């Protein structure tokens, strides 16, 4: 709660809030229950948004992020400027993106002066993207953006990606106008034909063409209210989207490099695996390149990498570790939303955190499978972070069933 | 609905203001149809008058939906016939005639193919062309009424094609027994047309005037005549044609003229029992006693009448030869015409009728050439019939170009109640409705009637989807106003420009601006150009300007829509009271913001207006200033209303003039706008306005689903039946 307050704008910047209008007295003339109810409802609403049923998800994503760098990105309605704020949030996004979608790739484009520029190519290395984003901070924002040019460019990059991956474009659009060389409707059509989903986040107001693009290509269109909301909107894009129609299923070749022990005892593995070598992620930047025994070797060609997941630069194999794949797993089987119940006298403690239920909180939550009852905070924690129900996991029967 | 029901029960007239896009048409239609079903004896017919053809079509669509619903729920065919009627131009299916563009030409050609004498001639000689569709209708169509259903203009045409009947005459014939008729105001208000089309509509009908905020002007226009010098020259030509035809006919067929003479002696009443197609020329509202009288002897013979006409035309010509502005009453005019050219009042009264009869007798089939003469004859009849409520103004030149001699005679109606009076008297219930009727109490005064119900409704909305603001000063604190004293001030113009630029930078897609006049628009744009504001503006959006040329304006509109559609964004500069401000909707992204630069007062130096103001003051005790403000505010509201066309729509309304924040102006805005116009938004500077816009636009851009509306502006059946809601409804019903 505390950090939420920090991200709010200053009092003199915000409008009048008629906080008293939302409050109503209950039958005893008390406000307490009402306030608690309000808080709980807001929390549940957010959680409910995320709980979607199990569908086929595009786990392997190819995403282009288009950042508007036109003159209007210098406006200061997001602090310090729109552009810096967006870049900052994008860093977080890139990090989260690779965390949750380890086998995906990302590229960054900017658009200004009616043109579009490529900052990074589609790649699976998050360090490079973050570095590029940090360099972007010095870029001067000028001119008008061009939606069409940037979409065309992103489309050219995505066109040749394999059919089993989900192709996406995320546009962060601050301007209210776009300066296009031709008919944008044609671009929309070819985007649709290529099965590319375009999601747009507007930074100022609803622009119709953006809504149209998002609607026609099956993406989402959102407009922020403040920077906190923007963060939420950007991070929403981290979740892999549901697949539209049926994508062809195919086997993807992947490499699982063995872990390198920090202390090399030289007995268990062959010595060649841990011979000191330059890692390929840093070989281009001379200063930071390290020669050492640590890192992961590609099982196919033997190149050394210091971080996973990554796409092998030599042979193009996707290198991941098993936990990465496991982490993407919960997207496929999200836990079912818990049922809201009125608190009865029988259960006095939350199953998860073992705290006694407070009088003020009238609602508790029950898991459908194991019938354990948890409090609101635990419900949210399970949904957002754990992704498993502690009740089901601790019960041998249901835990067994789930793995089956 | 409740109010409407009360009005229907009371058999009185009512005045309803409902915001656009809230289902005004559906509400009216469904209640009146239900009432017709429940009390078939009290209420037999609904006459729905709208303004333009697209609006008529929209009403028909609503009606069709309603009928489909009835059919689905009741499970049987409904015995209700609804149809739309428009001019021949929109309904003609004759292969060559329908190609004509101009309404008058179509009317003329139609007449030349369907008039009774032409058909008689055709019977004798096959070479004379006639319209096969009309023949088809005449032969069979009259016996078989149209099957029940809803017919819009295209349906009628299609029906006409398959049966090979003329859709126009079919529709006109069907009006008599149709339950619901939808057509333009003019069919009811313009006495020249009303006589023909709407004569046989029974008394127990409901008449609805939709979009009726300008109804008084329509009334006045329909009774006013404007005569220019060119028109008079054309009249002289037509008279010569008449003369030659008469002399020809005298040699060949003098019997016919004699017959006509006799008929005229017997009285005009019989003359009017002619065939319906011959009714192309009809007299303006004549008191019925005149029709009973015989035509006075001086104009009974054709030659005499033509000579008489000549004298009238010559007299008007001499009157136009003035060097200064003349204003006189009809009585003064009559006295003058009597002393100068010895024309009495009585024959003048019959001019229109006599001319119609003469044209009939002479079998002149091409009427288009005679329209100037018809105008003059209408003038003659009107001037001699009404002595009150009219004035004659002769201007030797236009105000804009005082050196160019361009004399015009205005015969102007000052009293809008004259044209609408027969409507109020004849029909049991007249409903006047529009999105912008405020202030309501002005209408009963100027139209001279007593409504039983007079209400202004507001919108129930799930979110504040309009944002009216009054911007009174620029960032430099200079007050913004289009007052005469300050309108040329560069500071004011610059502030207006800055306001537009800043709003254009903050608002997506389309913005519509309204100026008070074309002149003002031109001066402002040229000085914006000098100040570099146009350049700044074009960085954000493309710029389009409405001009007085209709073709140019529609081209600008098409491109404006294109620019809004593909995301470039556009600004349209237009004029209040212009074509754009009336009848063109800027819904959703086409009009995210409307800016009103200045208060659109009517041009107060106009003599016609001054005469009208004087008349209103003397007759109805309405102060000049009250009427001017009323007129300005209803146009302002009309302009503002352009951007709101439904519940899911949203739009900003900026009133950029200091004077708007005064109580007398603010209180005259429609209630549904006033409701959202908070005190905090009433005296803003440009910067504050833009700040509010930005925040509001972000809010509006948040997803807005159907669930959010449920329970507030949208009710499910269960919610409607719930006890709480019933209580609320009951409360509201009693409260009113």
- Closest partner residue to A205 among B680, B701, B703, by Cβ? B701
All residues of chain B having their beta carbon less than 8 Å from the beta carbon of residue A145 are none
Band (pLDDT 50/70/90 cuts) for residue A45 is low
Q: Do B506 and A204 lie within an 8 Å CB cutoff?
A: yes
What's residue A24's pLDDT?
A: 58
What's residue B525's pLDDT?
A: 93
Place of tokens 């010095």: A138
Residues 6 or more apart whose Cβ sits within 8 Å of residue B258: none
What average pLDDT score do residues A133-162 get?
Answer: 89
What's residue B526's pLDDT?
A: 93
Band (pLDDT 50/70/90 cuts) for residue B271 is very low
What average pLDDT score do residues A260-264 get?
Answer: 49
φ and ψ at A38, to 5 degrees? Answer: -60, -45
What average pLDDT score do residues B679-704 get?
Answer: 88
Q: Do A224 and B698 lie within an 8 Å CB cutoff?
A: yes
What average pLDDT score do residues B512-523 get?
Answer: 92
The residue with greater pLDDT, B526 or B437, is: B526
The β-bridge partners of B225 are B411
Band (pLDDT 50/70/90 cuts) for residue A263 is very low
Q: Chain A: give the shortest CA distance to residue B436, in Å.
A: 28
Q: Do A208 and B539 lie within an 8 Å CB cutoff?
A: no
Q: What is the pLDDT of residues B202-220, one digit of tens each?
A: 778 888 888 888 888 888 8
Query: How is residue B638 written in tokens?
Result: 């009309």
What's residue B345's pLDDT?
A: 83
Query: How is residue B735 written in tokens?
Result: 């409260």
Give me the torsion for CA of B417, B423, B428, B431, rounded to 10°.
-70
Considering chain A, what is the average pLDDT of its residues?
77
What's residue B185's pLDDT?
A: 83
Within A8-146, residue ranges assigned H as helices are 19-22, 32-50, 82-100, 126-136
Band (pLDDT 50/70/90 cuts) for residue B573 is very high
Q: What is the pLDDT of residues A206-226, one digit of tens each?
A: 898 999 999 999 888 988 888
Q: What is the ipTM of this complex?
A: 0.78
Number of Cβ pairs closer than 8 Å across A and B?
74
Kindly state whether B689 is in contact with chain A, defined as any CB-CB distance less than 8 angstroms: no
Q: What is the pLDDT of residues B83-120, one digit of tens each?
A: 888 888 888 888 888 887 777 788 888 888 887 777 77
Domain ranges of chain B: 21-86+149-211, 223-416, 466-703, 705-735
Element (H, E) at B23: none
My answer on whether omega of the bond before A309 falls inside 30° of 0, hence cis, is: yes
The residue with greater pLDDT, B8 or A108, is: A108
In chain A, % of residues over pLDDT 90: 17
Q: Do A206 and B564 lie within an 8 Å CB cutoff?
A: no
> A118: buried, middle or exposed (CB in 10 Å: 19+, 13-18, 0-12)?
middle
What is the crossing angle of helices B229-252 and B254-266, to 10°?
Answer: 110
Residue A381 has pLDDT above 50, yes or no: yes
CATH class of A335-394: alpha beta
Considering chain B, what is the average pLDDT of its residues?
82
The residue with greater pLDDT, A288 or B535, is: B535
Within B321-416, residue ranges assigned H as helices are 330-341, 345-349, 351-362, 371-385
| Alpha-carbon Rg for chain A in angstroms | 24
**C-beta separation of B593 from B507 below 8 A:** yes
Q: Do A208 and B700 lie within an 8 Å CB cutoff?
A: no
What is the crossing angle of helices B550-565 and A208-217, to 10°?
Answer: 50
For residue B698, the chain A residue with the least C-alpha distance is A205
Place of tokens 């979608």: A101
Q: What is the pLDDT of residues A86-140, one digit of tens each?
A: 999 999 999 888 877 777 889 999 998 888 999 998 887 788 899 999 999 888 8
Query: How is residue B621 written in tokens?
Result: 């005790």
**C-beta separation of B510 from B560 below 8 A:** yes
Q: What is the pLDDT of residues A266-278, one digit of tens each?
A: 444 455 566 777 7
The residue with greater pLDDT, A20 or B95, is: B95
What average pLDDT score do residues B572-584 get?
Answer: 85
Q: What is the pLDDT of residues B417-438, one digit of tens each?
A: 888 888 888 888 888 888 888 7
**C-beta separation of A201 from A99 below 8 A:** no
What's residue B394's pLDDT?
A: 87
What average pLDDT score do residues B241-251 get?
Answer: 83
The residue with greater pLDDT, B254 or A372, is: A372
What average pLDDT score do residues B600-604 get?
Answer: 85
Nearest CA-CA partner of B376 in B412, B394, B351, B397: B351
What's residue A48's pLDDT?
A: 55
Q: Do B565 and A209 lie within an 8 Å CB cutoff?
A: yes
Residue B415 has pLDDT above 50, yes or no: yes
What is the crossing angle of helices B229-252 and B371-385, to 10°?
Answer: 100
Residue A170 has pLDDT above 70, yes or no: yes
Q: Testing the interface with B: which of A74, A112, A177 to mutate, by most B Cβ within 10 A?
A: A177
For residue B503, the chain A residue with the least C-alpha distance is A176
Band (pLDDT 50/70/90 cuts) for residue B736 is very low
Q: Where in chain A is the domain with CATH 3.40.50.410?
A: 56-237
Within B11-148, residue ranges assigned H as helices are 24-38, 53-74, 88-91, 103-114, 116-124, 132-136
What's residue B296's pLDDT?
A: 72
Kindly state whether B507 is in contact with chain A, defined as any CB-CB distance less than 8 angstroms: yes
What's residue A268's pLDDT?
A: 43
Residue A53 has pLDDT above 50, yes or no: no
What's residue A403's pLDDT?
A: 47
What's residue B84's pLDDT?
A: 86
Residue A260 has pLDDT above 80, yes or no: no
Q: Do B569 and A176 lie within an 8 Å CB cutoff?
A: yes
In chain B, % of residues over pLDDT 70: 89
- Interfacial residues of A (vs B; Cβ cutoff 8 Å): 15-16, 72, 77, 144, 147, 176-180, 183-185, 202, 204-210, 222-225
Residues A169 and A65: their CA atoms lie apart, in Å, by 6
Residues A64 and A121: their CA atoms lie apart, in Å, by 9
Q: Where in chain A is the domain with CATH 3.30.40.10?
A: 335-394
Q: Do A206 and B703 lie within an 8 Å CB cutoff?
A: no
What is the crossing angle of helices B2-10 and B24-38, to 10°?
Answer: 40
Strands B390-397 vs B149-151: parallel, antiparallel or unpaired: unpaired
Q: Chain B: give the shortest CA distance to residue A228, in Å.
A: 14
What average pLDDT score do residues B244-273 get?
Answer: 70
Band (pLDDT 50/70/90 cuts) for residue B734 is low
Give me the torsion for CA of B10, B16, B21, B23, rounded to 10°.
-10
**Among A273-282, B32-41, B123-132, B636-645, which is the least confidently predicted range?**
A273-282
Kindly state whether B542 is in contact with chain A, defined as any CB-CB distance less than 8 angstroms: no
Q: What is the pLDDT of residues B22-62, one digit of tens each?
A: 778 888 888 888 888 888 877 888 889 888 888 888 888 88
**Among B187-191, B292-296, B611-615, B636-640, which is the least confidently predicted range?**
B292-296
What's residue B452's pLDDT?
A: 87
What's residue B24's pLDDT?
A: 80
Q: What is the pLDDT of residues B381-413, one digit of tens each?
A: 888 888 788 888 888 877 666 677 788 888 888
In chain B, % of residues over pLDDT 90: 13
Q: What is the pLDDT of residues B329-338, one digit of tens each?
A: 888 888 888 8
Q: Do B703 and A179 lie within an 8 Å CB cutoff?
A: no
The residue with greater pLDDT, B376 or A15, is: B376
- CATH 3.40.50.410 for domain A56-237, yes or no, is yes
Residue B652 has pLDDT above 90, yes or no: yes
The residue with greater pLDDT, A249 or B580, is: B580
What's residue B571's pLDDT?
A: 94
Q: Do B508 and A15 lie within an 8 Å CB cutoff?
A: no
Q: Do A205 and B698 lie within an 8 Å CB cutoff?
A: yes
What average pLDDT score do residues A39-58 get?
Answer: 56
The CATH code of the domain at B466-703 is 3.40.50.300
C-alpha pair distances (Å), A39 with each of A22, A42, A355: 12, 5, 19
């Amino acid at each position: 709660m505390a950090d939420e307050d920090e991200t709010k704008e200053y009092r003199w910047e915000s409008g009048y809030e008629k906080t008293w209008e939302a409050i109503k007295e209950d039958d005893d003339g008390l406000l307490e229950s009402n306030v608690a109810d309000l808080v709980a409802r807001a929390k549940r609403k957010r959680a409910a948004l995320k709980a979607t049923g199990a569908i086929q998800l595009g786990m392997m994503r190819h995403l282009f992020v288009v950042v508007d760098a036109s003159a209007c990105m210098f406006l200061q309605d997001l602090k310090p400027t729109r552009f810096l704020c967006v870049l900052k949030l994008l860093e977080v996004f890139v990090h989260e993106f690779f965390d949750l979608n380890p086998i995906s790739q990302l590229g960054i484009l900017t658009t200004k002066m009616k043109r579009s520029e490529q900052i990074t190519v589609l790649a699976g290395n998050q360090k490079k993207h973050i570095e590029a984003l940090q360099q972007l901070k010095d870029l001067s924002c000028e001119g008008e953006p061009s939606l069409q040019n940037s979409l065309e460019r992103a489309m050219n990059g995505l066109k040749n990606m394999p059919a089993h991956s989900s192709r996406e474009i995320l546009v962060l659009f601050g301007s209210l106008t776009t300066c296009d060389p031709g008919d944008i409707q044609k671009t929309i059509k070819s985007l649709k034909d290529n099965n590319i989903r375009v999601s747009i986040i507007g930074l100022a107001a609803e622009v119709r063409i953006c809504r149209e693009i998002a609607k026609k290509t099956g993406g989402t269109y959102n407009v922020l209210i403040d920077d906190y909301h923007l963060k939420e909107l950007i991070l929403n894009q981290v979740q892999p989207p549901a697949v539209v129609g049926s994508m062809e299923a195919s086997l993807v070749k992947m490499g699982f490099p063995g872990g390198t022990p920090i202390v090399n005892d030289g007995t268990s593995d062959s010595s060649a695996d841990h011979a000191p070598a330059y890692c390929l992620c840093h070989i281009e930047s001379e200063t930071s390149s390290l020669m050492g025994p640590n890192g992961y070797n590609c099982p196919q060609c033997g190149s050394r990498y210091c971080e996973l997941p990554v796409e092998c630069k030599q042979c193009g194999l996707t290198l991941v570790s098993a936990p990465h794949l496991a982490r993407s797993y919960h997207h496929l089987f999200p836990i079912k939303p818990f049922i809201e119940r009125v608190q009865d006298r029988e259960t006095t403690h939350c199953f998860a955190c073992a705290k006694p239920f407070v009088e003020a909180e009238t609602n508790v939550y029950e898991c459908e499978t194991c019938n354990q009852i948890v409090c609101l905070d635990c419900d949210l924690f399970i949904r957002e972070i754990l992704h498993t129900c502690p009740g089901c996991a601790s019960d041998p029967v249901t835990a067994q069933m789930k793995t089956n | 609905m409740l109010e409407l029901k009360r009005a229907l029960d009371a058999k009185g007239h009512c005045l309803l203001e409902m915001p656009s896009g809230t289902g005004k048409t559906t509400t009216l239609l469904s209640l009146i149809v239900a009432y017709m079903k429940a009390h078939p004896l009290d209420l037999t017919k609904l006459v729905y008058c709208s303004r333009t053809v697209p609006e008529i079509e929209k009403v028909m669509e609503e009606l069709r939906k309603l009928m489909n619903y009835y059919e689905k729920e009741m499970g049987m065919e409904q015995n209700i016939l609804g149809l739309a009627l428009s001019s021949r131009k929109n309904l003609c299916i004759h292969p060559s005639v329908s190609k004509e563009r101009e309404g008058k030409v179509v009317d003329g050609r139609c007449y030349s193919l369907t008039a009774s004498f032409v058909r008689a001639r055709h019977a004798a000689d096959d070479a004379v062309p006639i319209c096969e569709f009309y023949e088809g209708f005449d032969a069979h169509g009259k016996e078989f009424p149209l099957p029940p259903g809803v017919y819009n203009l295209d349906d009628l045409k299609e029906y006409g094609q398959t049966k090979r009947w003329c859709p126009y005459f079919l529709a006109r014939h069907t009006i008599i027994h149709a339950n619901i008729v939808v057509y333009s105001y003019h069919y009811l208000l313009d006495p020249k047309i009303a006589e023909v089309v709407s004569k046989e509509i029974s008394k127990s009908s409901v008449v609805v005037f939709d979009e009726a905020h300008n109804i008084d002007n329509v009334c006045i226009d329909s009774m006013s005549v404007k005569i220019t010098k060119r028109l008079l020259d054309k009249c002289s030509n037509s008279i010569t044609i008449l003369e030659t035809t008469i002399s020809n006919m005298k040699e060949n067929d003098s019997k016919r003229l004699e017959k006509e003479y006799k008929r005229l002696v017997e009285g005009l009443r019989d003359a009017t029992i002619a065939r319906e197609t011959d009714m192309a020329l009809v007299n303006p509202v004549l008191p019925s006693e005149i029709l009973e009288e015989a035509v006075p002897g001086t104009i009974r013979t054709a030659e005499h009448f033509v000579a008489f006409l000549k004298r009238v035309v010559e007299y008007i010509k001499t009157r136009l030869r003035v060097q200064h502005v003349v204003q006189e009453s009809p009585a003064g005019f009559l006295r003058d015409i009597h002393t100068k050219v010895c024309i009495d009042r009585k024959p003048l009264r019959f001019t229109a009728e006599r001319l119609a009869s003469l044209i009939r007798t002479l079998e002149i089939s091409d009427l288009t050439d005679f329209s100037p003469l018809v105008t003059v004859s209408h003038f003659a009849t009107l001037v001699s019939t009404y002595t009150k409520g009219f004035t004659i103004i002769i201007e030797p030149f236009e105000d804009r170009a005082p050196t160019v001699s361009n004399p015009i005679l205005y015969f102007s109606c000052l009293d809008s109640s004259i044209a609408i009076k027969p409507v109020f008297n004849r029909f049991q219930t007249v409903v006047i409705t529009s999105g912008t009727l405020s202030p309501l109490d002005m209408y009963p005064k100027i139209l001279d009637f007593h409504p039983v119900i007079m209400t202004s409704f507001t919108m129930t909305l799930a979110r504040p989807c309009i944002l009216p603001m009054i911007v009174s000063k620029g960032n430099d604190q200079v007050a913004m106003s289009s007052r005469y004293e300050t309108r040329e001030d560069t500071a004011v113009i610059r502030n207006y420009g800055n306001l537009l630029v800043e709003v254009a930078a903050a608002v997506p897609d389309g913005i519509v601006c309204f100026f008070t006049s074309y002149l003002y628009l031109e001066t402002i744009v040229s000085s914006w150009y000098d100040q570099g504001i146009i350049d700044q503006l074009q960085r954000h959006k493309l710029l389009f300007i409405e001009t007085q040329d209709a073709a140019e304006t529609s081209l600008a509109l098409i491109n404006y829509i294109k620019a809004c559609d593909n995301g470039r964004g556009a600004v349209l500069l237009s004029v209040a009271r212009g074509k754009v401000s009336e009848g063109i909707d800027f819904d959703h992204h086409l009009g995210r913001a409307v800016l009103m630069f200045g208060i659109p007062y009517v041009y107060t130096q106009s003599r016609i207006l001054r005469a009208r103001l004087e008349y209103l003051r003397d007759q109805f005790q309405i102060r000049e200033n009250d009427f001017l403000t009323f007129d300005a505010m209803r146009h302002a509201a009309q302009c503002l209303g352009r951007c709101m066309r439904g519940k899911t729509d949203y739009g900003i309304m900026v009133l950029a003039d200091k004077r708007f924040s005064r109580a007398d102006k603010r209180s005259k805005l429609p209630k549904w706008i006033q409701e959202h116009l908070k005190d905090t938004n009433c005296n803003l500077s440009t910067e504050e306005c833009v700040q509010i816009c930005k925040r509001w636009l972000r809010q509006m851009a948040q997803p807005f689903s159907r669930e959010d509306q449920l329970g507030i502006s949208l009710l499910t059946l269960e919610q409607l039946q719930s006890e709480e809601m019933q209580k609320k409804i009951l409360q509201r019903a009693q409260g009113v």
